[in-house]
């Protein structure tokens, strides 16, 4: 059992002072009382993640990694990733895949009492398209209202993944949208914003106009604390749900129990795929060591992923073999036997990589030496980087680790291995990372990977008319028996681990079954929060 250090006790006192200051700051609301208080049964206090830096505007990305909370979406996915209607009552796709027609409910109101119509849907998508944000609507040619309850989307090219945009884009009200909407959102979702004390807390209440099942909990208070302070707050009984790192997961907290949620929140090493080259704009890309397929494959099969899970994540994770483990478009053939150091050494020997007197492998005068970069301040990525470098040292591959700012990473990542993290409920992420069309586009395909056969499968997956057909092509892009971007194929990545998302939850609180969680941005555990209730 791990011990709570004196520093954490001090943090607890600071947290209690923070709560006291919030309740005496002139605000009309204070932190929510504990759920164990008999006179308060319909309120929760949650510390489940960081404060959204950009606020709560879906047209610029809010809700992409979980429930929009304040807004509704046209479609949604259930716990098994089956498509369900939300605002929509039905949708149809033309035979050529270019026209999507969606019919919506006629009984929906925003939290200010104004009706939601097709015009609001059109406004939302047009606003998102022009926002130049992370929301990618470049393939949307036109969207128009056919009547108050019908919307037609016209695409430039068929796009099977458009359905994921319909399931993640929260609808905003045209009449109430302005430059400050991200801080004062109005929507038709199960909750409405009451108060936001930046850097401290967010208070929301149930939306009386919500067309769906009214949430059991009428008030939620989200508090924003450091990882240590979250644990201290949970220990003090001041929160009902607390997201914690594996460092705290083995602690005992009276009245709370640990919930472990599977995720595709992965970490892995992106390997530059091409040989060193300087582009016309001066960008340095490629790495002569990792451009060798034998190096990439040897790194993959030598790593003992279970040891990384146990050693770095304290057992709270799973080995990762792809960017989309366990999701509907994942190819289980990407799993392979790892921790095979002798086989990895033999692979390098056969490829001409021989050990020199220092125990470093060389080939044609090139030493197998690399610098692995990771973002500053990220403890898990730092620990994984150090463990990975140590684990592959017996191969004769020398890896130095360095922390860098995100600005520096963006400049250096095309020519150096980087400890990255992805994980989305949208298979378009797979296209973004591996398509030849996205080489060098921001953090997408930063290693300049390209395989014409993989590109063919990725494009067919995008152009498919239904999800089953699309998933078949996503799987083939990973491995078709002869080629692909998995380790059996080109191995441009060394995927290492999937994190488990860990929460201390009040013993008498029922949060229900959850989906496989996406990357940790946002608050994915809130996906079905309107269904939460006290156990009977």
Residues 116 and 47 in one domain: no
C-alpha 33/C-alpha 275 separation (Å) is 59
The reply to whether 430 and 519 lie within a common domain is no
Among residues 165, 188, 211, the one where a domain terminates is: 188
Separation between Cα atoms, residue 74 and residue 110, nearest integer Å: 14
Nearest to 430 by CA among 478, 366, 369, 391: 478
Specify whether 240 is located in the same domain as 250.
Answer: yes
180 located within any domain = yes
Q: Are 67 and 153 part of one and the same domain? A: yes
**Are the C-beta atoms of 10 and 231 separated by less than 8 Å?**
no
Domain co-membership, 283 together with 418: yes
| 472 shares its domain with 324 | yes
Q: Which long-range contacts (CB under 8 A, 24 or more apart) does 117-120 make?
A: 117/145, 117/148, 117/149, 118/145, 118/146, 118/147, 118/148, 118/149, 118/150, 118/151, 119/145, 119/148, 119/174, 120/171, 120/172, 120/173, 120/174
Cβ neighbours of 374 (radius 10 Å): 25
Within a domain: 322: yes
Residue 483's pLDDT is 98
HSE-CB for 228 with a 13 A CA cutoff: 12
SS3 state of residue 340: coil
Q: Are 90 and 213 in contact (CB under 8 A)?
A: no
pLDDT tens digits in sequence order for the chain, 536 residues long? 444 444 444 444 444 444 444 443 434 333 334 444 445 489 999 999 889 888 999 999 998 877 899 999 999 999 899 999 999 999 999 999 999 999 999 999 999 999 999 999 999 999 999 998 889 999 999 999 999 999 999 999 999 999 999 999 999 999 999 999 999 999 999 999 999 999 999 999 999 999 999 999 999 999 999 989 999 999 999 999 999 999 999 999 999 999 999 999 999 999 999 999 999 999 999 999 999 999 999 999 999 999 999 999 999 999 999 999 999 999 999 999 999 999 999 999 999 999 999 999 999 999 999 999 999 999 999 999 999 999 999 999 999 999 999 999 999 999 999 999 999 999 999 999 999 999 999 899 999 999 999 999 999 999 998 899 999 999 999 999 999 999 999 999 999 999 999 999 999 999 999 999 998 777 889 999 999 999 98
296 and 167 in one domain? no
- With respect to residue 238, please indicate whether it lies within any of the assigned structural domains: yes
Q: What is the dihedral of CA 178, 182, 185, 190, to 10 degrees?
A: 150
Domain that holds residue 160: 60-188
- CATH code: domain of residue 484: 3.10.105.10
Q: Do 506 and 471 fall within a single domain? A: no
Residues facing 151 on adjacent strands: 102, 145
Q: How far apart are CA 308 and CA 106, in angstroms?
A: 52
Q: Does 389 fall in a domain?
A: yes
Q: Are residues 291 and 257 in the same domain?
A: no
* Pair 451, 297: CB distance under 8 Å: no
Q: Is residue 223 part of a domain?
A: yes
Asked whether residue 193 is assigned to any structural domain, the reply reads no
CATH number reported for the structural domain that contains residue 161 in this entry = 3.40.190.10
Contact between 43 and 219 under an 8 Å Cβ cutoff? The reply is: yes
**Residues 90 and 239 grouped into a single domain:** no
Q: What angle do CA 270, 446, 455 make, to 5 degrees?
A: 95
Q: Are 249 and 261 in contact (CB under 8 A)?
A: no
CA angle 254, 522, 33 (to 5 degrees): 35
Give yes or no for a contact between 497 and 305, defined as CB atoms under 8 angstroms apart. Answer: yes
Is residue 171 one of the residues assigned to a domain? yes
523 class by beta-carbon count within 10 Å (0-12 exposed, 13-18 middle, 19+ buried): buried
Q: Which pLDDT does position 25 carry in this prediction? A: 41
- Examine the fold and report which residue of 188, 219, 249 is the final residue of a domain before the chain moves on: 188
Which domain-ending residue is among 188, 214, 246?
A: 188
Structure tokens at 204: 């929301």
Say if 518 falls within a structural domain.
Answer: yes
Q: Is 258 exposed, middle or buried (0-12, 13-18, 19+ CB in 10 A)?
A: middle
Minimal CA–CA distance to 519: which of 503, 504, 498? 498
Q: Are residues 143 and 257 in the same domain?
A: no
Total count of domains within the chain: 3
Whether 284 and 334 map to the same domain: the answer is yes
């Amino acid at each position: 059992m791990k011990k709570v250090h004196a520093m954490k006790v001090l943090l607890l006192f600071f947290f209690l002072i923070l709560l006291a200051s919030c309740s005496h700051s002139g605000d009309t609301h204070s932190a929510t009382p504990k759920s164990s208080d008999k006179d308060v049964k319909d309120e929760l206090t949650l510390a489940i993640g960081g404060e959204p830096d950009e606020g709560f505007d879906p047209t610029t990305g809010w809700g992409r990694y979980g429930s929009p909370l304040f807004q509704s979406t046209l479609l949604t996915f259930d716990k098994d990733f089956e498509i369900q209607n939300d605002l929509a009552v039905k949708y149809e796709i033309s035979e050529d895949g270019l026209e999507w027609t969606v019919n919506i409910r006629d009984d929906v109101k925003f939290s200010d009492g104004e009706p939601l119509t097709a015009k609001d849907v059109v406004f939302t998508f047009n606003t998102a398209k022009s926002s130049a944000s992370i929301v990618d609507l470049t393939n949307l040619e036109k969207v128009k209202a056919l009547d108050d309850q019908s919307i037609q989307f016209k695409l430039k090219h068929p796009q099977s993944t458009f359905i994921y945009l319909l399931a993640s884009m929260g609808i905003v009200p045209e009449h109430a949208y302005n430059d400050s909407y991200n801080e004062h959102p109005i929507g038709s979702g199960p909750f409405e914003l009451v108060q936001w004390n930046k850097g401290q807390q967010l208070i929301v209440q149930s939306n009386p106009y919500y067309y769906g099942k009214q949430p059991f909990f009428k008030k939620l208070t989200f508090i924003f604390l450091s990882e240590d302070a979250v644990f201290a707050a949970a220990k003090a009984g001041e929160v009902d749900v607390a997201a914690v790192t594996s460092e705290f997961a083995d602690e005992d907290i009276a009245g709370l129990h640990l919930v472990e949620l599977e995720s595709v929140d992965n970490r892995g090493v992106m390997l530059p795929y091409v040989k060193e080259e300087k582009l016309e704009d001066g960008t340095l890309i490629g790495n002569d060591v990792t451009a060798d397929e034998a190096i990439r494959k040897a790194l993959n099969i030598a790593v003992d992923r279970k040891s990384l899970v146990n050693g770095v994540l304290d057992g709270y994770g799973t080995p990762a073999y792809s960017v989309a483990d366990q999701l509907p478009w994942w190819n289980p053939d990407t799993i392979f036997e790892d921790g095979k150091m002798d086989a990895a050494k033999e692979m390098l020997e056969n490829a001409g990589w021989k050990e020199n007197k220092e125990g470093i492998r060389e080939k044609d005068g090139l030493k197998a030496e690399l610098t692995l970069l990771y973002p500053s301040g990220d403890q898990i990525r730092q620990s994984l980087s150090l463990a990975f470098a140590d684990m592959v040292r017996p191969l004769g591959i020398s890896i130095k680790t360095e922390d860098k700012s995100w600005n520096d990473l963006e400049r250096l990542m095309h020519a150096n291995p980087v400890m990255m993290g992805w994980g989305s409920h949208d298979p378009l992420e797979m296209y973004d990372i591996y398509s030849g069309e996205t080489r060098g586009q921001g953090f997408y395909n930063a290693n300049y990977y390209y395989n014409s056969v993989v590109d063919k499968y990725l494009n067919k997956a995008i152009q498919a008319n239904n999800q089953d057909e699309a998933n078949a092509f996503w799987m083939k892009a990973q491995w078709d028996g002869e080629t692909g971007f998995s380790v059996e194929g080109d191995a441009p990545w060394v995927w290492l681990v999937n994190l488990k998302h860990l929460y201390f939850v009040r013993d008498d609180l029922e949060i229900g079954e959850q989906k496989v969680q996406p990357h940790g941005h946002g608050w994915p555990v809130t996906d079905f929060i309107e269904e939460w209730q006290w156990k009977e």
